Structure 1
Amino acid sequence: MALEIERRFLVHGDEWRQHITGRAHLLQGYLVSGPGGLTLRVRSSRAEDALGGEPAEAWLTLKAPLAAGGASGLPGEAPGQPDGLVRQEFEYAIPLADAQALLALAPFQISKWRYHLALPGGDWVVDVFEAANAPLVLAEVELASADQLPPLPPWCAQEVTGRHELSNAALAREPLQAWSPERRRSLPHWLHRGAVASDTINRLS
């Protein structure tokens, strides 16, 4: 059984860009998305040098929360760790044609640019969301163990590990621009103002 051990952070500012080593455009569709955290996702990825052609890679991924007390002998999340830090993950490469067919069936989708970063402490990426989820920017760091504490860059402004409404599956179903003004106020000020500004522009265009 594969495990995903990952922490997520809201990003403020552009200082992270100095660490970029590459980027790709991702399109994700959710075939199953349950309130308990079980998701079945199809993803296509196009590297920056292949944007004019077909997606270069595609995967089918099932994610599920780790059962309380562990699953199949695996340790669960320890006290003091963020909820949702450790999840079960089953990921399989699939043919591009299959991914495109599944994306056509997926009722909820998101698109974003993913930037790979050279930083210590884990496998770091920053996701810059597009369309109805702009101007959201999230950093993710994949860790080797649940008790690993990577050094956090100053632009990681707020941890949102386990915060369901900011998961990719939830953002596909209810994007940031669909949030009510009251709900947006739960976000940091720069995201709240950006969301309102983008909403105003959309209404005027």
Structure 2
Amino acid sequence: MPLEIERKFLIKPNLLDLPKEGKKLIQGYIWSDPDKSLRIRIAGDQSFLTIKTGNNPLSRSEFEYEIPMKDAQDLLVLCDSKIEKTRFVIPQNNLFWEIDVFEGNNKGLIVAEIELSSENENFELPQWIDREVTNESKFLNVELIKHPFSKW
């Protein structure tokens, strides 16, 4: 079973220089329960259907499949609300930090994520990391749709 092991952090925006190029992401959820979700995502010129299961924010099962763009567009119409963000990738020591700059109802929120090969993998925190929020469910995208950052 494919496993996503991911840690999330808030950043210190004044210390982070984002790359010039980012990828626009639009995503919505067909369904979301505390322990499973079905996400539709358009990422640039690609589109995906993703099933996530499990309620451990650090480590969850993830099944992701590329789907036709038209299918993704039609499925996004069925979603009650969507998240829009721009993702920037910063390589560091053979790992990649994904920096999500949120828009719309989540404007002002910037989250850094790093995918790991194990829950205990060691990695270096860049100076622009503020604090870890992996175990704070309000920072999950599925929660940000229901309770956007602008309403906190």
CA distance in 1: counterparts of 2:22 and 2:99, whole angstroms: 9
Q: Does 1:173 align with 2:146?
A: yes
Structure with the greater alpha carbon radius of gyration: 1
Matching of residues 33-182 of structure 1 within 5 Å: 33-34=32-33, 36-46=34-44, 56-65=45-54, 83-120=56-93, 122-179=95-152
Identity rate, percent:
38
Deviations 1:72-126 (A, max 9, x none): xxxxxxxxxxx52111000000000000000000112100000011212522110
Q: Which digits, 9 at most, give the CA deviation of each residue in 1:7-30, with x for residues without a partner?
A: 000111243325x37410000011
Gaps of 5+ in 2: none
Unaligned runs of 5+ in 1: 47-55, 67-82, 180-205
Deviation sequence 1:22-54 (CA, Å, 0-9, x none): 4100000111111x23111000012xxxxxxxx
Give the conservation status (yes or no) of the 8 Å contact 1:123–1:141: yes
User: How far apart in 1 are the matches of 2:52 and 2:96?
Assistant: 19
Instruction: Give the secondary-structure state (helix, strand or coil) at the position aligned to 1:118.
Output: strand
**Residue by residue, what CA displacement relative to the aligned partner does 1:103-151 show, whole Å, maximum 9, x if unpaired?**
0001121000000112125221100000111100000001111110210
The structural deviation recorded for 1:162 is 2.6
RCO comparison, higher one (Cα < 8 Å, 6+): 2
8 Å CA contact retained: 1:9, 1:139: yes
Letter in 2 for 1:116: V
Match of 2:22 in 1: 23
Structure with greater strand percent: 2
Matches of 2:94 and 2:114 in 1, distance apart? Answer: 8
Query: Could you tell me which amino acid in structure 1 is paired with residue 3 of structure 2?
Result: L
Output the aligned Cα RMSD. Answer: 1.6
- Does 2:30 match 1:6? no
User: What is the TM-score of this pair, normalised by structure 2?
Assistant: 0.93
Number of equivalences:
152
In 2, Cα distance between the equivalents of 1:64 and 1:9?
21
Q: TM-score, normalised by structure 1?
A: 0.70
